[in-house]
Amino acid sequence: MSTNVPTSPVERGSLLAGGTRTRLVQAGPVEASEAVVFLHGNPGSSDDWVGLAATAAGAGKRAVAFDLPDFGETVAPDGFQHDVPGYAGFVDAALTQLGIERVHLVLHDFGGPIGLYWAASHPEALASITLIDTGLLPGYKWHSLARIWRTPVLGELFQATATRSAFRFLLNRNEPRGLPRDFVEAMYDHFDRRTRKAVLKLYRATDDPGGMSEALVGLFGDREIPALVVWGEHDAYLPWKYAERQRDAFPAAEVHVLPASGHWPFADAPETVERLFAEFLAS
């Protein structure tokens, strides 16, 4: 199916930031100080964003995505703090290095808390926000997999026994249409020992995933920041009922709940998400 969404070529490279070299996906006018910045979740990498980066560039925007430390193929520097403030600090370093001053944030999964933490520290730099199965999570209690990761010994055991077939099964178990095989295989390829350890640290350092919600409402509620919310109705980790709650902090948000999608709508319904994103950027 053709979506008629204009796209532009995406280039891969690398970036030295925050004491490490990270993989970089970039498209559009590379000198622009205003850019669409994509932050992936767990498990995930800059690879997640190739399609939407092309869409952003097709809309004339500079698009930038990079691996977060210990995800994708990027090694965290010594002493890196695997928590939300630590990752937000890395995002800040990367944006400084890229010369980006004004940001259209696009966040997914754990990229949500990280990106929102960064935005809360730089509210004047936030031009718009796109939340894909993430965002404010007031009152949210961790999903069952996160609870396993957060439990000492059990989390390590779980990670140690996450074979490729088990990973494939777990990921697809709750996805209404199943995820594209290449997408899952690439995700597992990146789910190495470093990433597995980083996941445990990150989840164990995050006791209250909804803890920032109230502060974000106070910070952004009156700013009329353009916002797009896309949520898969079958998301087994972050329930779609949080989609509407994003209007608490972003009252102008367009909210779209995809009735046949799961936690990764950009993977199971790429044409639809690219259309929504292109229309949002155009508006």
Q: What is the 3-state secondary structure (H, E, C) of the chain?
A: CCCCCCCCCEEEEEEEECCEEEEEEEECCCCCCEEEEEECCCCCCHHHHHHHHHHHHHCCCEEEEECCCCCCCCCCCCCCCCCHHHHHHHHHHHHHHHCCCEEEEEEECCHHHHHHHHHHHCHHHEEEEEEECCCCCCCCCCCHHHHHHHCCCHHHHHHHCCCHHHHHHHHHHCCCCCCCHHHHHHHHHCCCHHHHHHHHHHHHCCCCCCCCHHHHHHHHCCCCCCEEEEEECCCCCCCCCHHHHHHHCCCCCEEEEECCCCCCHHHHCHHHHHHHHHHHHHC
- Contact letters for another protein, residues 214-253 (x by CB under 8 A): -------------------x-------x------------
**For another protein, which residue of 22, 212, 272, 277 counts as binding (CB under 8 A)?**
272
In the complex, the smallest distance separating the C-beta of residue 258 from another protein, rounded to whole angstroms, is 5
Binding to another protein, residues 147-186 (CB under 8 A): 176-178
Q: Assign residue 124 a region (left: φ > 0; alpha: ψ between -120 and 50; beta: otherwise).
A: alpha
Place of tokens 């977060």: 68
In the complex, the smallest distance separating the C-beta of residue 47 from another protein, rounded to whole angstroms, is 23
Closest to another protein by CB, 208 or 271: 271
Binding to another protein, residues 115-144 (CB under 8 A): none
Closest to another protein by CB, 162 or 257: 257
In the complex, the smallest distance separating the C-beta of residue 41 from another protein, rounded to whole angstroms, is 21
Closest to another protein by CB, 204 or 275: 275
How many residues contact another protein, by CB under 8 A?
Answer: 13
In the complex, the smallest distance separating the C-beta of residue 162 from another protein, rounded to whole angstroms, is 20
In the complex, the smallest distance separating the C-beta of residue 39 from another protein, rounded to whole angstroms, is 24
Closest to another protein by CB, 1 or 153: 1
Closest to another protein by CB, 157 or 252: 252
In the complex, the smallest distance separating the C-beta of residue 255 from another protein, rounded to whole angstroms, is 8
Q: Assess 1 for contact with another protein (CB under 8 A).
A: yes
Structure tokens at 203: 């989840």
Closest to another protein by CB, 56 or 258: 258
Q: Assess 258 for contact with another protein (CB under 8 A).
A: yes
The residues of the shown chain that bind another protein, judged by CB under 8 A, are 1, 176-178, 233, 241, 256-260, 269, 272
